[in-house]
Amino acid sequence: MSKRYYTCLFAGEAGYGVMSAGSTIAKGANRNGLWPFVVNEYPSLIQGGLNSCLVRLAEQSIASYEENIDFLGLFSQQGFDCYADKLSSDAIVLYDPATTQVDKSKVPAGALLYPVSLASFIPKGGAKIMINSAMLGGFCALTGYPKHIVIDTIKSEFPNAKVQQENILIVEEVYAHVVSSLPSEKIFPFDFQKSADPKILMNGNEAISIAAIKAGCKFSAGYPMTPGSSVLSYLADHGRNFGLVFKQAEDEIAAINMLIGASYAGVRTIGSTSGGGFALMVEALGFAAIAEVPIVMVNAQRGGPSTGLPTRTAQADLNFVVYASQGEFPRIVVAPGDIEECFYETFRVFNLVDKYQVPCIILTDKYLADSSVSHLPFTTDHLTIDRGKIFEERATREEPYLRYQNTPDGVSERAFPGQIGGRHIATSYTHGEDGFYSSGNKEYAINEPTVVVESMDKLFNKLPSMENDIPGIKLHGPADADLTIIAWGSTKGAILEAIEQATSLGISVNFLQVVYMSPFPTTAIELVLQSAKKTLLIEGNKTAQLGTILTAHTGYKADHSLLKYNSRAFVPSEILAKIKEVFF
């Protein structure tokens, strides 16, 4: 048996430690030479329902998943009903006959169905969540995944010695029980070896959070909203040691206004939300823009409209985020495609918002925010802080300080409260160079049209240098490919894997990844499209939002499109199928 990927999926009701079972084998694999990719699916409820945790393992770096399940660990009937048709031909299914009936006609002929009375291994009075340790014992016995790795991981994850021992005992007992019934010892298809160079196992929200800390962010405010919240909880927990204050706000409107206040007072700030919360923030987004107060906001997209699908993925807020405003103003919108881009682009935009004094939105989605991937630790030696034009304190000056002084690049010096000589008014009104409302007084009223034009032009004079400062696109693959895929955000991983497979089939494909959505990298895109032979647009929404923006900026219309809006992320096989379809 030679497998390139080994996919395990645990499924059951919330409350049985489904995620914890997956996370244990993923962590163990990550520490012992393999490269896991972890995808969690869960409904918006606390108990019951169907949670699943998919762990895909490989011997080299991976960036995507397939529902081609080699091991299915079932905690409930619903798990079998949902995943029976996604089993590989030689899959192993471990289930507790007390909770789950398996219908043999629904699984591949070569599959091994293995019942274990998992619950019976929990000691009397023990927590039902310990059933996941029973599952792990059975998993090791049936797959050959080293039991000592599971035990080491349990030791590192459970600080309480008693809990640790109880769980380890269950693992051992189930393992012994299952092994004794097998004709021979199972061998896992991949080699495990302690890594000399440790790897991180991290999701997109975590990468954004540590990048914010690295960038010197000292204040965050927000209101809980899945899937954006975990940035906030990470900062609330880990930020303290770095002097960062996280304030839970009464609503998203308060949250973004707190960020604006803190940034006005000189602190780097980040917020995180999802589409509904971002909708509430839009008025203040314009306030940040006209007052030229830099802020960074994460929008981790979920299904919409309205409450939509709180725990499922989508790429349908692109138009909203790029255009959200009353009036017009420049902004930065970046859509990282993996955790590496989550980290480095977050660090970058903290510098960019200070340099250009504009708001920025980091546009991710549930799939990227929540899926953990194995990666080498990020190198940070080359990262430097640039706070842009800051007012120099002085007791006396010949000319009055003008917060919004017109300059060739549209950027003027920021003074922070407390600085001597920098007093000014920052305002949500359209204003002149001194910050005073353009029609608020006789002196200004007469010149209002001029002041308004100057004020708007000042904002937009920032655009040419902003455009030069952003790495707007990435081109993956050969420049002269026969097919060019155009896509953005978290589809990146599935596309890269599909391209690899296509290449091995002799199909030449490259991938134009649009990383920055605003300012839109028109020139760079046009350059790539000039030599593109055939194009395929791939997006996680119904209306091809990037396609619309692309056409608006360049007039270009992609030849083909693959749009998915069923609340689940793209997988390589469906992209490969589409590549074949448009290619042949």
Partner 1 sequence: MSANDINVSYVPTWCAGCGNYGIINALKKAMSSLNLDLEQTVLATGIGCASKISQYVNTYRIETLHGRSLPVATGVKLANHNLTVIAEGGDGDGMGLGMGHFIHTARRNLDITYFIHNNQIYGLTKGQTSPTSDLGSITKFTPAPLGNVEQPINIVKMALNAGATFVARGFVGNSTQLVALMIEAIKHPGFAVVDILQPCVTFNHVNTYPWYQQRVKVIDNMEGYDPTSLEKALSFATLWGDEIPIGLYYRNIRPTFNESLPQLSREPLAKQPLDNIDIAGLMKEFY
- Residues 245-264 interacting with partner 1 (rule: CB under 8 A): 245, 247, 249-251, 253-255, 257-264
The yes or no reply on residue 236 touching partner 1 (CB under 8 A) is no
CB of 173 to partner 1, least distance (A): 29
From the list 42-50, 116-124, 170-178, 420-428, the region that binds partner 1 by CB under 8 A is 420-428
Backbone phi, psi, residue 265, to 5°: -85, 5
Which CB contacts under 8 angstroms, 24+ apart, belong to 528-533? Answer: 528/473, 528/475, 528/484, 529/484, 529/554, 529/556, 531/479, 531/480, 532/484, 533/481, 533/482, 533/483, 533/484
d(CA 355, CA 358): 8
CB of 377 to partner 1, least distance (A): 5
378: which DSSP letter? Answer: P
Instruction: Tell me the site size for partner 1, rule CB under 8 A.
Output: 72
Greatest alpha-carbon span in the chain: 94
- Site track for partner 1 across 281-300, x = CB under 8 A: --xx--x---x---------
Nearer to partner 1, 56 or 268 (CB): 268
From the list 58-66, 95-103, 240-248, 448-456, the region that binds partner 1 by CB under 8 A is 240-248
The yes or no reply on residue 418 touching partner 1 (CB under 8 A) is yes
CB of 218 to partner 1, least distance (A): 4
The yes or no reply on residue 215 touching partner 1 (CB under 8 A) is yes
Cβ neighbour number for residue 507 with a 10 Å cutoff = 17
From the list 44-52, 147-155, 265-273, 547-555, the region that binds partner 1 by CB under 8 A is 265-273
In the list 384, 396, 504, 530, the residue contacting partner 1 (rule: CB under 8 A) is 384
Cβ neighbour number for residue 109 with a 10 Å cutoff = 7
CB of 359 to partner 1, least distance (A): 14
Nearer to partner 1, 30 or 313 (CB): 30
Angle between helices 147-157 and 18-31 (to 10 degrees): 110
The yes or no reply on residue 452 touching partner 1 (CB under 8 A) is no
The yes or no reply on residue 420 touching partner 1 (CB under 8 A) is yes
CB of 23 to partner 1, least distance (A): 12
Nearer to partner 1, 134 or 289 (CB): 289
Nearer to partner 1, 89 or 441 (CB): 441
SS3 for 473-527 is EEEECCCCCCEEEEECHHHHHHHHHHHHHHHHCCCCEEEEEECEEECCCHHHHHH
Nearer to partner 1, 200 or 507 (CB): 200
The yes or no reply on residue 305 touching partner 1 (CB under 8 A) is no
Peptide bond into 519 cis (omega under 30): yes
CB of 300 to partner 1, least distance (A): 19
By the 8 A CB rule, do 287 and 258 touch?
A: no
The yes or no reply on residue 233 touching partner 1 (CB under 8 A) is no
d(CA 376, CA 193): 16
The yes or no reply on residue 77 touching partner 1 (CB under 8 A) is no
d(CA 354, CA 294): 6
CB of 267 to partner 1, least distance (A): 4
d(CA 568, CA 191): 31
In the list 37, 42, 80, 378, the residue contacting partner 1 (rule: CB under 8 A) is 378
d(CA 46, CA 202): 24
Which CB contacts under 8 angstroms, 24+ apart, belong to 114-120? Answer: 114/138, 114/142, 114/178, 116/174, 116/177, 116/178, 118/75, 118/174
CB of 29 to partner 1, least distance (A): 12
| Residues in 14-43 at the binding interface with partner 1, rule: CB under 8 A | 30-31
By the 8 A CB rule, do 41 and 227 touch?
A: no
CB of 430 to partner 1, least distance (A): 12
d(CA 396, CA 99): 79
CB of 239 to partner 1, least distance (A): 8
Residues 6 or more apart from 155 whose CB is under 8 A from it? 164, 168
The yes or no reply on residue 436 touching partner 1 (CB under 8 A) is yes
Rg over alpha carbons for the chain, rounded to the nearest Å, is: 27
The yes or no reply on residue 427 touching partner 1 (CB under 8 A) is yes
Nearer to partner 1, 210 or 502 (CB): 210
In the list 106, 128, 148, 240, the residue contacting partner 1 (rule: CB under 8 A) is 240
Nearer to partner 1, 263 or 301 (CB): 263
d(CA 281, CA 275): 10
In the list 441, 523, 548, 566, the residue contacting partner 1 (rule: CB under 8 A) is 441
Half-sphere exposure of 450 (CA within 13 A, CB side): 7
- Site track for partner 1 across 93-112, x = CB under 8 A: --------------------
The yes or no reply on residue 413 touching partner 1 (CB under 8 A) is no
CB of 238 to partner 1, least distance (A): 6
CB of 57 to partner 1, least distance (A): 17
Q: Determine if residue 332 is left, alpha or beta; phi over 0 gives left, psi from -120 to 50 gives alpha, anything else beta.
A: beta
In the list 28, 138, 422, 472, the residue contacting partner 1 (rule: CB under 8 A) is 422
From the list 91-99, 139-147, 426-434, 462-470, the region that binds partner 1 by CB under 8 A is 426-434
d(CA 575, CA 584): 14
One-letter identity of residue 80? F
